């Protein structure tokens, strides 16, 4: 894969060297369940923190503590809602119809691109060196932030191929692209 400014795209070699696979309904359900399981602990922790701070706000005797804990509860609730939104967005990526199965060989340094003329506005890219499990094609692939931090070396991961990129691949069922 290649990155140009703030976009990532497949190279001609990627299109020739990767095997595009189609997900079954069972695979989609299994992948959703596995993703939910990976994110369960952070979700529970955040929910417990929100409930604890709300309880502190309700049962605190001092006015100052009530105000501070109410503010913290509001901020944590906002973070929890944001976390749930991003989780649902990431889960929707798992439901894409096509994917490439890759073994993580190495993690590369995170790449950051800064938007010109806008201070403190950047986008980060999370590259790995991976190998297609079927063809043995080795290339640079980009993961999303959560996948990057949850993946381990020599682990097999499924890279969802967005619908707009599927047309680039000359796929015929599970034949080589």
Residue 72, classified by CB atoms within 10 Å of its CB into exposed (0-12), middle (13-18) or buried (19+), is middle
Confidence check: pLDDT of 176 > 60: no
Q: Which of 13-22, 77-86, 103-112 has the highest mean pLDDT?
A: 103-112
* pLDDT 10s digits, 87-117: 777 666 666 678 888 999 999 999 888 877 7
- Classify strands 98-107 and 111-114 as parallel, antiparallel or unpaired: unpaired
- Please report which confidence band the pLDDT of residue 129 belongs to, taking 50, 70 and 90 as the band edges: very high
Tokens of 20: 């595009």
Say how many C-beta atoms besides its own lie within 10 A of residue 157's C-beta.
Answer: 19
Residue 50, classified by CB atoms within 10 Å of its CB into exposed (0-12), middle (13-18) or buried (19+), is buried
Query: What is the structure's pLDDT at 163?
Result: 64
Q: DSSP labels for the chain?
A: -EEETTEEE--HHHHHHPBPEE--HHHHHHHHHHHHHHTHHHHHHHHHHHHHHHHHHHH-SSHHHHHHHHHHHHHHHHHHHHHHHHHHHHHHHHT-SEEEEEEEEEEPPPEEEEPTT-TT-EEEEEEEEEEETTT--EEEEEE-HHHHHH--TT-EEEEEEPHHHHTTS---TTSB-
pTM above 0.75, yes or no: no
Confidence check: pLDDT of 132 > 70: yes
Average pLDDT, the chain: 80
Q: Cβ distance 102 to 133 under 8 Å?
A: yes
| Residue in this structure with the two tokens 């682990």, named with its chain if needed | 155
Report which of residues 132 and 1 the model is more confident about. Answer: 132
């Amino acid at each position: 894969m290649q990155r140009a400014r703030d976009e990532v795209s497949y190279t001609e070699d990627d299109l020739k060297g990767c095997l595009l696979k189609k997900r079954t309904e069972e695979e989609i359900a299994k992948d959703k369940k596995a993703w939910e399981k990976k994110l369960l602990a952070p979700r529970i922790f955040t929910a417990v923190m929100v409930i604890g701070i709300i309880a502190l706000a309700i049962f605190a005797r001092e006015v100052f503590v009530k105000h501070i804990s109410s503010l913290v509860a509001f901020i944590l609730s906002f973070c929890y809602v944001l976390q749930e939104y991003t989780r649902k967005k990431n889960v929707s990526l798992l439901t894409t119809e096509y994917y490439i199965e890759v073994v993580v060989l190495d993690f590369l340094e995170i790449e950051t691109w800064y938007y010109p003329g806008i201070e403190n506005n950047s986008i980060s890219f999370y590259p790995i060196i991976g190998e297609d499990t079927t063809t043995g094609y080795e290339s640079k692939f980009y993961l999303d932030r959560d996948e990057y931090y949850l993946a381990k070396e020599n682990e097999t991961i499924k890279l969802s191929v967005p619908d707009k990129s599927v047309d680039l691949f000359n796929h015929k069922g599970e034949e080589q692209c």
